[in-house]
């Protein structure tokens, strides 16, 4: 699913109005009706008071349409107009007249703090105050109104975008932004729904199809792509019955040190559970019995050193080398990694201490094979590219970094991002239970396992991140969030593949 900017969505609206020969008010009616339908499906006529807060622009117009439809279906509705300006949009005014003609209980005009209505825990509030056109922080009594709603502990549903949130920048500390429990967004999600700095404002999210021009949507270059089941499914290459283990490649996992061999077991298990035909590990001697016992399917080569990597000698013709998990940063290990980089010409997967070695030895970045995949968590990323002001600044710095070094970068998080040149892919699987030691080791193994099967590194990264998250979701269904350990994620990779190709059309993407 494409993630578009506010300006692209505005253009889509204009083109839709022109090509479908409809008015902007008719498009507003269509969009707001979709919101009403979702609310009505969930409430089923429940006898509760619904408080609708409308601004005086088009987002407020949406709110008025929603309120009118709720009233027409016999819901108990109270409408409040947040009167922050004398300028009202044409479509707002039109829908304001419609709701006045429908009910004697006219909308209540809010002009300041003295007009704030009573809101309490358990109330149902619809936030339609500001939409995607907001370009400056909320001020004065309007900001206090937003904070008043947040402090009420009411259930808040935001229309298209939580009021006070921008689509293209991060709010400053102290800015007033609605903390929505649920956001119903029009046509496409917004990038801020998935950024660590802003995703908590959004709550749960669903995207509503409102019939914008399909030709424009198919041709426009998005700000990013959201990867759900449908998108991931299109990347999958089914297996050929007439095949053998050599058909699915050979992955070498290099890393480990005394006390940290488990990370190698996790990564190697994941690579094989993802379908790699052969897996070899290269580890210090201390890990030999551990790996042979834990994973008899893997081949094991050892360093001459018992506790750490000092001399990575392997003449095996691997399709991909995955380096870094548990490796440590001893001077001897750094030297061994340097030599490994010199003799490796195929894309690598680099994680954990491999990333830390690169950040401490920047000259090694020039030796990375083109299209190698780096998989940092935020702190590892900071060591690589330096500090950033906010998430948008971070994205800009990442894009500069990957262009310079011609690599693919997987930034792990609640929504893992995959960066490749101008393209950004946002994953929509996974859950809080995956915040557990070793989860990243599993992801590196998954991506390496896919590359070994001849997936292009970018495809391996995008599909691997999706499957990793889906396996985590399957694990959570069985064990609950708190019960997941990373070995469960590796073990359930086969079920993630099976879910991907099942006939069940439920999509893990937005909506």
The annotated binding site for AMP is made up of 412-416, 440
Backbone angles phi, psi at 142, to 5 degrees: -70, -40
Provide the token pair at 122. Answer: 């358990």
Neighbours of 491 (CB within 10 A): 17
Number of DSSP helices (H) and strands (E) in the chain, helices first: 18, 18
Distance CA 296, CA 315 (A): 21
Known binding-site positions: 58-62, 127, 131-137, 160, 163, 326, 377, 412-416, 440-441
Provide the token pair at 261. Answer: 């061999």
Provide the token pair at 286. Answer: 């201390």
Distance CA 426, CA 402 (A): 17
Q: Look at the chain and count its residues.
A: 511
Backbone angles phi, psi at 79, to 5 degrees: -110, 135
**Contact by Cβ (8 Å): 60, 129:** yes
**Contact by Cβ (8 Å): 287, 264:** yes
**Contact by Cβ (8 Å): 279, 256:** no
Q: Report the candidate in 47, 509, 48, 510 with the shortest Cα–Cα distance to residue 233.
A: 509
Distance CA 439, CA 456 (A): 23
Known binding-site positions for (6S)-NADPHX: 58-62, 131-137, 160, 326, 377, 441
Distance of CA 96 to the CA centre of its chain: 37
CA distances from 222 to 2, 7, 228 (A): 6, 11, 16
Strand partners, 82: 110
Known binding-site positions for K(+): 59, 127, 163
DSSP state of 161: S
Neighbours of 147 (CB within 10 A): 16
Distance CA 226, CA 199 (A): 14
């Amino acid at each position: 699913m494409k993630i578009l900017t506010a300006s692209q969505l505005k253009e889509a609206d204009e083109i839709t109005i022109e090509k479908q020969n409809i008015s902007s008010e008719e498009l507003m009616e269509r969009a707001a009706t979709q919101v009403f339908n979702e609310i009505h499906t969930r409430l089923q006529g429940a006898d509760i008071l619904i408080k609708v807060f409308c601004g005086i622009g088009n987002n407020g117009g949406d709110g008025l349409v929603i309120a009118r439809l709720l009233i027409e279906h016999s819901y108990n509705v109270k409408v409040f107009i947040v009167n922050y300006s004398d300028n009202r949009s044409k479509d707002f005014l039109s829908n304001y007249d419609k709701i006045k003609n429908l009910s004697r209980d006219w909308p209540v005009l809010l002009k300041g703090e003295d007009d704030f209505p009573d809101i309490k825990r358990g109330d149902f509030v619809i936030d339609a105050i500001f939409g995607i056109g907001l370009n400056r922080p909320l001020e004065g009594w309007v900001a206090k109104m937003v904070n008043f709603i947040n402090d009420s502990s009411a259930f808040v549903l935001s229309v298209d975008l939580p009021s006070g949130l921008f689509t293209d920048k991060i709010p400053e500390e102290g800015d007033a932004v609605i903390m929505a429990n649920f956001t119903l967004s029009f046509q496409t999600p917004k990038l801020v729904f998935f950024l660590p700095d802003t995703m908590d404002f959004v709550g749960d999210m669903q995207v509503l199809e409102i019939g914008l021009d399909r030709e424009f949507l198919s041709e426009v270059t998005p700000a990013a792509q959201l990867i759900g089941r449908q998108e991931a499914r299109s990347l999958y290459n089914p297996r050929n019955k007439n095949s053998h283990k050599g058909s699915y490649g050979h992955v070498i996992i290099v890393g480990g040190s005394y006390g940290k061999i488990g990370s190698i077991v996790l990564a190697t298990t994941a690579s094989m559970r993802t379908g790699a035909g052969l897996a070899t590990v290269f580890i210090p001697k201390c890990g030999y019995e551990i790996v042979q016992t834990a994973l008899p399917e893997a081949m094991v080569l050892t360093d001459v050193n018992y506790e750490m990597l000092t001399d990575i000698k392997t003449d095996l013709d691997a399709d991909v080398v995955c380096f870094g998990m548990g490796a440590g940063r001893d001077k001897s290990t750094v030297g061994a990694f340097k030599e490994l980089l010199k003799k490796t010409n195929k894309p690598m997967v680099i994680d954990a201490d491999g990333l830390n070695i690169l950040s401490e030895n920047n000259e090694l970045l020039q030796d990375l094979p083109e299209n190698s995949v780096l998989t940092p968590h935020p702190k590892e990323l900071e060591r690589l590219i330096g500090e950033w002001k906010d998430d948008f600044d971070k994205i800009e710095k990442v894009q500069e970094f990957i262009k310079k070094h011609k690599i693919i970068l997987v930034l792990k998080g609640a929504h893992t991002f995959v960066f490749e040149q101008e393209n950004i892919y946002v994953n929509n699987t996974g859950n809080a239970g995956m915040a557990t030691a070793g989860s990243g080791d599993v992801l590196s193994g998954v991506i390496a396992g896919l590359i070994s099967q001849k997936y292009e590194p970018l495809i391996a990264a995008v599909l691997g991140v999706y499957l990793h998250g889906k396996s985590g979701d399957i694990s959570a269904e069985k064990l609950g969030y708190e019960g997941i350990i990373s070995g469960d994620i590796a073990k359930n990779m086969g079920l993630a593949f099976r879910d991907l190709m099942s006939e069940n059309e439920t999509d893990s993407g937005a909506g």
